[in-house]
Structure 1
């Protein structure tokens, strides 16, 4: 099985289905999440906690892999996450709205298992949809381009 297929399972089985135990099979013992939320464990146990928190807020959370590819020992993924906001998450009370955001994941693979993880997330988009931060004021831009 290719490294890309193994890394996909983290999203399809752990995040989308809530099967956090699969991470024991897919991540090394010394796994490090270099983009763990502040105060969270950087090990695979920390990833399990993140999944539980996200699925508490979005019980129907679904990770859609837009594109992924391998480059040597790395697997890079562009992912869209979507879920209905039915529970408390990131300090936001449930809104009942369908929320979606994008992420880029970089996984370093060693002997078929993920040893390191880095990510870039559209957290500002997520937090705006949750009502935790205000959207940026674009009125000046709209005025400047109104006559175009």
Structure 2
């Protein structure tokens, strides 16, 4: 398997195991200890601990999380994705009581990998905009 294909496999696993299922056990296998999220939300740190905190916040406020990757492009150590995250607002999040509403978040990510592990992330999403509309 070439490096681009391997990296795409890791990104798919990150989204299915970590984003959708909040499986923290998978992180050491696919995220490097020196990981840096260059576009981390202000309420979380830019390291692995911030990644864990983000997923705790997301899964605390939403259930039935499903990630649909629409496009994925890999070149060398970089993988870009355009995806939609579908969820249901079933928990308290940033002062918003559960509404039971289905929500969708639009996301574009760039991930840099080394040896099959995330080492850097840059992204844009509308998560806070959607939460603000609850």
Residue in 2 that maps onto 1:105 = 109
Q: Give the structure, 1 or 2, with the largest relative contact order (CA under 8 Å, sep 6 or more).
A: 2
Higher normalized strand content (fraction of residues): 2
Deviation at 1:29, TM superposition (A): 1.0
CA contact (8 A) 1:61 1:84 kept: yes
Distance 1:125 1:8 in 2: 25
After TM superposition, the runs of 4+ consecutive aligned structure 1 residues lying more than 2 A away are none
Residue in 2 that maps onto 1:89 = 93
Residue in 2 that maps onto 1:45 = 49
Match of 1:66 among 66, 70, 76: 70
Distance 1:13 1:38 in 2: 24
Distance 2:128 2:36 in 1: 24
The alignment partner of 2:57 has SS state of helix
TM-score in terms of structure 1 length: 0.82
Deviation at 1:61, TM superposition (A): 1.2
What is the number of equivalent residue pairs in this alignment?
A: 130
The alignment partner of 2:28 has SS state of helix
Runs (5+) with no aligned partner, structure 1? 131-148
Residue in 2 that maps onto 1:114 = 118
Which stretch shows the higher mean deviation, 58-67 or 112-121? 58-67
After superposition, what is the alpha-carbon deviation per residue over 1:39-62, rounded to whole angstroms, capped at 9, x for unaligned? 412111211111111011112111
Deviation at 1:38, TM superposition (A): 0.8
TM-score in terms of structure 2 length: 0.90
Deviation at 1:79, TM superposition (A): 1.2
Task: Let me know the Cα RMSD of the aligned residues.
Answer: 1.4
Distance 1:96 1:41 in 2: 29
Q: Which has the larger radius of gyration?
A: 1
